[in-house]
Chains A and B, each alone.
Chain A
Amino acid sequence: MSSKSNAKAYWKENIRYVLILMAIWFAVSYGAGILFKDALNEIRMGGFKLGFWFAQQGSMYVFVILIFVYVRLMNKLDKKYGYDE
Chain B
Amino acid sequence: MTNSILLVESIDVQTWTYILVGITFTLYIGIAIWSRAGSTKEFYVAGGGVSPLANGMATAADWMSAASFISMAGIISFAGYDGAVYLMGWTGGYVLLALLLAPYLRKFGKFTVPDFIGDRYYSNTARFVGVICALLVSFTYVAGQMRGVGLVFSRFLEVDINTGVIIGMLIVLFYAVLGGMKGITYTQVAQYCVLIFAFMVPAIFISIQMTGNPIPQLGFGSELADGSGTYLLDKLDGLSTDLGFAEYTEGSKSLIDVFAITLALMVGTAGLPHVIVRFFTVKRVKDARKSAGIALLLIVILYTTAPAVSVFARTNMIETVSNQPYANVPEWFKKWETTKLITFTDKNNDGLIQYVADKSKNELVVDNDIMVLANPEIAKLPNWVIALVAAGALAAALSTAAGLLLVISASVSHDLIKKMINPKISEKGELIAARLSAVIAVCVAGYFGINPPGFVAATVALAFGLAAASFFPAIILGIFYKKMNKEGAIAGMVVGIVAMLLYMIKYKLGWFDDVVPDKSEWWFGISPEGFGTVAMVLNFIVSITIMKFTPDPPQDVQEIVENIRIPSGAGEATH
Contact = CB atoms under 8 A, between A and B. Distances in A.
Interface of A: 7, 10-11, 14, 18, 21-22, 25, 29-30, 33-35, 37, 41, 45-49, 52-53, 55-57, 59-61, 63-64, 66-68, 70-71, 74-75, 78, 82-85
- Residue from B98, B222, B284 with most neighbouring chain A CB atoms (10 Å): B98
B231 to A, nearest CB: 3
B567 A34 contact: no
B262 A7 contact: no
A83 B285 CA distance: 10
Contacts of A64: 293, 296-297, 300
Contacts of A35: 255, 259
18 contacts: A7-B566, A10-B565, A14-B565, A22-B95, A29-B88, A33-B84, A34-B84, A47-B222, A47-B234, A52-B84, A52-B233, A56-B83, A59-B87, A63-B91, A71-B289, A71-B290, A83-B566, A84-B568
Given A47-B222, A63-B92, A85-B568, A52 B286 contact: no
Contacts of A63: 91-92, 94-95, 296, 300
A47 B300 contact: no
A59 B222 CA distance: 19
Interface string B287-325: 001101100110010011001000000000000000000
Contacts of A55: 81, 84, 87-88
A52 B570 CA distance: 42
Contacts of B49: none
Given A7-B562, A29-B92, A47 B567 contact: no
Interface string B214-242: 00010011110000000111100000000
Given A30-B262, A47-B233, A60 B88 contact: yes
Contacts of A82: 568
A46 B567 contact: no
A11 to B, nearest CB: 5
Nearest to B565: A11
B477 interface: no
A31 to B, nearest CB: 11
Nearest to A29: B88
Contacts of A60: 87-88, 91, 300, 303-304
Contacts of A34: 84, 255, 258-259, 262
Interface string B70-114: 000000100001011001100110110011100100000000000
A56 B567 CA distance: 35
A68 B249 contact: no
Q: Could you say which of B99, B233, B286 has the most chain A C-beta atoms within 10 Å of its C-beta?
A: B99
Given A14-B565, A41-B249, A59-B91, 19 more contacts: A7-B562, A10-B565, A10-B566, A29-B92, A33-B84, A47-B233, A48-B221, A53-B221, A57-B217, A60-B304, A61-B304, A66-B95, A67-B296, A70-B99, A71-B290, A78-B567, A82-B568, A83-B568, A85-B569
Contacts of A75: 286
Contact of A70 (B289, B567, B569): B289
A35 B259 CA distance: 8
Nearest to B97: A67
A9 B262 CA distance: 34
A57 B307 contact: yes
Nearest to B100: A18
A33 B300 contact: no
B95 A21 contact: yes
Contacts of B290: 71
A56 B91 contact: no
Given A34-B255, A53-B221, A66-B95, A59 B88 contact: yes
A30 B92 CA distance: 10
Interface string B548-572: 0000000000000010011111100
A46 to B, nearest CB: 5
B99 A18 contact: yes
Interface string B528-565: 00000000000000000000000000000000001001
Contacts of B233: 47-49, 52
Given A18-B100, A56-B84, A67 B304 contact: no
Contacts of A10: 565-566
B293 A7 contact: no
Contact of A67 (B94, B220, B255, B562): B94
